[in-house]
Structure 1
Amino acid sequence: MSVVRLPETVTVAAEQIRQTAAQIGVQVPERDLDAYRVFLSGLDSCIDQIEAEDDYLPLLDAERFPRSNVHRPSPEDNAKQFNSWAYKVHIASTNTEDKAGPLAGFTVAIKDNVNIATVPSLLGTDVFEDPYIPEYDATIVTRILRAGGTIVGKAACENFSLSPNSFTNAQAKVMNPLAPGYSAGGSSSGSAALLAGPSPIVNMAIGGDQGGSIRLPASYCGIVGLKPTYGLVPYTGIAPLSSIVDHTGPMTTNVLDNARLLSAIAGKDGLDDRQMGAPEFGLDYYTPLLAYANDPKAAVKGMRIGVLVESLEVPGLDPRVREKVRVAAELFRSLGAEVVDVSIPMHTLGPALWTIANRQGISEQALRGQNPVRLGVHDVKLTQKLAHWNTEMFEKAQLHNPAITVSLLGGQFVKYAYPGAADKAINLSRKLRDTYEAVIKDHHLDVILLPCTPTIANYTFDLSDSVGDKMGKAVGITLNTCPLNVSGHPAISIPIGTLPVIEPGREVDTGIRLPVGMQIMAGFWQENRIYRTALAFEKSFDWRIL
């Protein structure tokens, strides 16, 4: 490292040097304090120059994409729509060519961790004194508008996107439209609730998925949710959780619409460094599927489909869910596919890899704004809001979502108690990726089937419940989803049947039936195979009566 320049004025006090050194566990010799005051004052000088410049963010074309009627719905109005909204807005392109695009006529909800310029991002939390208001649109927002979609609002999400259930939003709990009081899944809870039930409120939605947060709510709400291959869809302009597992993707009521929305948003944007190896923008997953719309058997005839046996034995899996997946596999066989069991023992290590590889990143990047030095667009104002936590913020976060405070403490615990553990977990995540790929290749598999959530949706908790009881509602839900985040493989959740409620303490609800979701995963960049498989099931069978 070289010193670019020495400061004209020493601005750093000796006590600041002592405090800074204490943060990393060292003590600067008294005789050297003045030297360090000079060198750190040089940083002050550089920062002055940086702050004098305008930030360099993607341009907002407010004339082409004007926004109007930005508002938070009243609590009463929001409750009528399952508390699904964070903000309402109306944005549609004024460009004639855009208006004729593939999403023309479709209304779209955007998860509340995605930047829409001038529309506050609540992030499901109340720890900020004032909400973060983005200055530019996320890449996927611009792409949706250019494709002719109409954005009608920001869907509520879970508190800092850190819950597989829909009970943690600080403004209001998102409810499952199929059974109010039950989880809509998380963290893309509002996105799923807006699509669920017999009368969807929007045509399409965007979700985020770092441990299952698209697929889990899709499973609980009986909709279609795809986590694309890592890097396929640009993450530019979206609040991160942990850079190695950040995914965003489409949530819809059916497979064809899912492929239509993915086509509009997939491909490199030249800004997101997660997209190394991703294909260029301009992909079409929708048109090839049309050939199978009236002949779903043809979509899977001759396919070789694996059933991942380890996924059927994860702790807490409802045996009824296991049976639904087995039945679905046999239904694929009836359509002309070859169905075989496959074993991937390392799948069971996936949740531990996810936890250790990401806990430090979540603690520092998502919750404290300590972004790593990496390329891409950085949201300076959000980072500044996250930079300094205090006890009041900690207590607010713990009240609604103790997963936040567990992550804050756990990330620091891993960092200092087990240095190098996260690095090894990230290395082993590549081994998990390669293991999945090898099994797919060696067994000549087109896709692999596995359960999504281990049970149907569970019932809400009360704010007065203990930290342990609140966290207990989340234990084990991501055992079959988070391994595919650390490996980066694409996976969709589709509904394959319903089951009656048997949750202890909810005997009054035994007449309620809720959806069962099944994942279909494939090799890297093989979303087309996933869509063919999902479409064949959807067009051949009615999950509501299975």
Structure 2
Amino acid sequence: MSPFAPIPGVVAAAEMVASGAVSAEALASAALARLSDLGPRYNAVVALDAAHALEQARAVDLARARGAPLGPLAGVPLAHKDLFYRAGRPCAGGSKIRKDFVPDITATALERLDEAGAVDLGRLHLAEFALSPTGFNAHDGHGRNPWRLDHCSGGSSSGSGAAVAARLVSGALGSDTGGSIRHPAAMCGITGLKPTHGLVPLFGAMPLSPSLDTLGPLAVSVRDCARLLGVIAGPDPRDASTLAAPRRSYEAALGGDLRGVTIAVPQDYYRTAATPDILVLLDASLAALRAAGARIVETCVPDMALLNAMMQLVMGVEAAALHRGWMEERPQDYGAQVRARILPGFAYPAVRYAEALMLRAKLAQDWLATAMGDADMVHLPTLAVPVPSIAETTEGDASDIAAAIGRVTHCTRAINYLGLPSLSVPCGFAGNGLPAAFQLVGRPFAEAMLLKAGDAYQRETDFHLRLPPDCAEA
């Protein structure tokens, strides 16, 4: 293949390598070339590890030549948000404080990708300590949207979203504490899955708020996400939160037929926040899901102000606890926006934090009963407004910046407190010409159902296949 052609998606890349249409080494070399050439344009890349990647790729090619069985991701070129630890490789987490940190462990998720034959090309940009929904980083610069460079790429998994959207890699892992997989997926026009809390092991990934953190894939299609999730999900004895989580194949559920599936659409809070152009796209996506056989019902939501307050309290306290030492010793080494988000966590009483944790299961039941009812999933906007510009979220009055950032997280942050899975699916382009998306939210461990619905939608649409301008050839 041309060294500068767009990199195929996860499933397509695996099939090309398995069939011999392209060698894993050639595919890795092409991806490295695109990352080197286009990566700086979007500020998507922290560092590449070409030697390690080519070694992995050659091992796949040797295995295929010997007729050995290949893993489900054999030869697939991936790169990941720079908070996944790999022993002996730096991992800065988007920060100045950890720029020299070198872990001595490897994240479970990366180990599982290695076992499946994936090729790890290197580390991708993220917001400082994963604490920005837009991709802002005071030290490393803002993530850039491949569709329009002066607009947000979404955060905190900004490099993952941009690299997949620009087809620099087949897929990437990100983390999601309040929307950090779904924001970049929505803003960059790709597919992103936030799994149920506890489905994917957190071991070896830099934490932000362990009660809310989730790890998951960003990829071109729902099928690509299903392939990746099937590899990284499941119990890990090093992470007790995953002990009860099932491990399964998720691609088997992708049949395209949604007859018998009911999708709930809450009318308040989520849709009332959506702009007219976003509402048009949401309604069109519902029509496509209905055409695939789904039944659509209207519902409402419980007290969302309470849920958002509980989420903010839990994240604030846990982030403050993790950062207490550095905040005391090196406060000047934080970006002002990130420092301002961590500081309130020190002021919450312990009783309030304990209450937030104890209320969590009850509030999750209430949300499911009200927003979902007897349906199989809930349909919401991922982003209720068009993708904002970088200037809108970084310049001017502090209250205006806070309001712009609040609009970004309006539809996503409570889902993390509830611990529920959510799939973000591109559904067209807003009035400003940038991507828009809906999210499907399910009951705990209902990823297969969400993937089934998202795949059925993508069988009838091609928004996830659209390439940003100037991305056809590097």
Give the TM interval when normalised to the shorter protein: 0.7 to 0.9
Task: Give the letter aligned to residue 536 of structure 1.
Answer: A
Residues 427, 320 of structure 1: alpha-carbon distance in 2 compared, 3 angstrom cutoff: farther
Distance in 2 separating the partners of 1:326 and 1:125: 40
| Cα distance per residue 1:262-308 (max 9 Å; x no partner) | 000000111112225312x4x1102332xx2xxx2x2x122111112
Q: In the alignment, is the contact (CA less than 8 A) between 1:178 and 1:514 conserved in 2?
A: yes
Residues 126, 346 of structure 1: alpha-carbon distance in 2 compared, 3 angstrom cutoff: same
- Identity over the aligned pairs, expressed in percent? 28
Distance in 1 separating the partners of 2:397 and 2:281: 34
Distance in 1 separating the partners of 2:41 and 2:163: 7
Aligned counterpart, 2:332? 392
Residue 118 of structure 1, CA deviation? 1.9
Distance in 2 separating the partners of 1:426 and 1:116: 31
Secondary structure of the equivalent of 1:191? helix
| Cα distance per residue 1:113-147 (max 9 Å; x no partner) | 1101222112112245x421111110000000000
Q: Does residue 375 of structure 2 align to residue 435 of structure 1?
A: no
Q: Does residue 114 of structure 2 align to residue 145 of structure 1?
A: yes
Q: Does residue 101 of structure 2 align to residue 132 of structure 1?
A: yes
Aligned counterpart, 2:277? 320
Distance in 1 separating the partners of 2:465 and 2:170: 23
Distance in 2 separating the partners of 1:342 and 1:464: 38
Match of 2:135 among 166, 182, 191: 166
Q: In the alignment, is the contact (CA less than 8 A) between 1:362 and 1:407 conserved in 2?
A: no
Residue 172 of structure 1, CA deviation? 2.5
Distance in 2 separating the partners of 1:259 and 1:545: 17
Secondary structure of the equivalent of 2:426? strand
Match of 1:260 among 227, 230, 238: 227
Residue 169 of structure 1, CA deviation? 5.2
Secondary structure of the equivalent of 1:414? coil
Segment drifting more, 77-86 vs 320-329:
77-86
Residues 348, 410 of structure 1: alpha-carbon distance in 2 compared, 3 angstrom cutoff: closer
Match of 2:263 among 301, 305, 325: 305
Distance in 2 separating the partners of 1:470 and 1:436: 29
Task: Give the letter aligned to residue 286 of structure 1.
Answer: E
Residue 368 of structure 1, CA deviation? 2.9
**Higher RCO structure, 1 or 2 (CA under 8 Å, sep 6+):** 2
Match of 1:446 among 376, 390, 393: 376
Q: Does residue 355 of structure 2 align to residue 421 of structure 1?
A: no
Distance in 1 separating the partners of 2:418 and 2:92: 30
Distance in 2 separating the partners of 1:264 and 1:390: 38
Q: Does residue 130 of structure 2 align to residue 196 of structure 1?
A: no
For 1:213-252, list aligned pairs within 5 A.
213-252=180-219
Q: In the alignment, is the contact (CA less than 8 A) between 2:185 and 2:191 conserved in 1?
A: yes
Q: In the alignment, is the contact (CA less than 8 A) between 1:310 and 1:348 conserved in 2?
A: no
Root-mean-square deviation over aligned CA pairs: 2.8
Residue 446 of structure 1, CA deviation? 1.4
Q: In the alignment, is the contact (CA less than 8 A) between 1:115 and 1:238 conserved in 2?
A: yes
Q: Does residue 410 of structure 2 align to residue 479 of structure 1?
A: yes
Distance in 1 separating the partners of 2:39 and 2:79: 17
Residues 451, 458 of structure 1: alpha-carbon distance in 2 compared, 3 angstrom cutoff: same
Distance in 2 separating the partners of 1:303 and 1:347: 26
- In the alignment, structure 2 segments of 5+ residues that lack a partner are 1-27, 467-474
Q: Does residue 448 of structure 2 align to residue 518 of structure 1?
A: no
Secondary structure of the equivalent of 2:435? strand
Task: Give the letter aligned to residue 148 of structure 1.
Answer: G
Q: In the alignment, is the contact (CA less than 8 A) between 1:255 and 1:534 conserved in 2?
A: yes
Distance in 2 separating the partners of 1:313 and 1:450: 7
- In the alignment, structure 1 segments of 5+ residues that lack a partner are 1-67, 370-385, 502-512
Secondary structure of the equivalent of 1:476? helix
Q: In the alignment, is the contact (CA less than 8 A) between 2:265 and 2:371 conserved in 1?
A: no
Secondary structure of the equivalent of 2:277? helix
Secondary structure of the equivalent of 1:345? coil
Task: Give the letter aligned to residue 429 of structure 1.
Answer: R
Aligned counterpart, 1:368? 324
Distance in 2 separating the partners of 1:541 and 1:76: 31
Residues 241, 264 of structure 1: alpha-carbon distance in 2 compared, 3 angstrom cutoff: same
Task: Give the letter aligned to residue 324 of structure 2.
Answer: R
Distance in 1 separating the partners of 2:101 and 2:210: 20
Distance in 1 separating the partners of 2:151 and 2:292: 34
| Cα distance per residue 1:357-395 (max 9 Å; x no partner) | 221111112x236xxxxxxxxxxxxxxxx47433422xx
Segment drifting more, 535-544 vs 455-464:
455-464
Segment drifting more, 206-215 vs 98-107:
98-107
Secondary structure of the equivalent of 2:440? strand
Secondary structure of the equivalent of 1:182? strand
Secondary structure of the equivalent of 2:280? helix
Distance in 2 separating the partners of 1:192 and 1:497: 16
Q: Does residue 421 of structure 2 align to residue 458 of structure 1?
A: no
Segment drifting more, 99-108 vs 513-522:
99-108
Distance in 1 separating the partners of 2:241 and 2:283: 35
For 1:203-218, list aligned pairs within 5 A.
203-218=170-185
Residues 142, 175 of structure 1: alpha-carbon distance in 2 compared, 3 angstrom cutoff: same
Q: In the alignment, is the contact (CA less than 8 A) between 1:137 and 1:237 conserved in 2?
A: yes
Distance in 2 separating the partners of 1:170 and 1:470: 19
| Cα distance per residue 1:71-99 (max 9 Å; x no partner) | x99x9957644110112113427484997
